[in-house]
Amino acid sequence: MIVTGGQRNDGAMLAEVLAQIHVPRAGAGRPRTRPDAVIADRAYATGVIRSELRRRGIKAVIPDKRDQAAARKRRGSNGGRPPGLDADAYRGRNVVERFFALAKQWRGIATRYDKLAITYRAGVTLSAILTWQRLLGDTS
């Protein structure tokens, strides 16, 4: 997990985040370091993010921004082809959004009171562990 300053550009951090991804294999072998797809909301529909994912051969499941779609339509045939969107894969994004909603119930995480990144990361980790235990029904 990478913890950055509050207003740090997501496009600038994408390479570092992708470098930390390890997708476990079903059978034997080391984990893959390249996911099949990245699912994100409209805020991540920037050229920097799309081009980095394309360069790495990762499918971008990101809906197009409305203003970009309108600009492309206004330009007509010179506007280019709209990026594809796998609607079925995009529906799975709600699982992650629900986890963030649970995590933000912790006041320190929602407001980012911690001065040090390590203590903020510890709070996020602790909230994830306790949430996981609660979902599994383990109260020990």
19 or 3: which leads in pLDDT: 19
Whether 2 shows a pLDDT value over 70: the answer reads no
Sign of CA dihedral 55, 28, 86, 17: negative
Return the pLDDT at 64. 85
Q: Domains of the chain: which residue ranges?
A: 1-86, 92-140
Q: In Å, what is the CA distance from 83 to each residue of 64, 69, 88? A: 7, 10, 15
List, for residues 75-100, the tens digit of each pLDDT value. Answer: 887 777 777 788 888 888 888 788 77
List, for residues 5-47, the tens digit of each pLDDT value. Answer: 555 666 677 888 888 888 888 888 898 888 888 888 888 888 8
Residues across the chain: 140
109, 124 Cβ separation under 8 angstroms: yes
Return the pLDDT at 26. 85
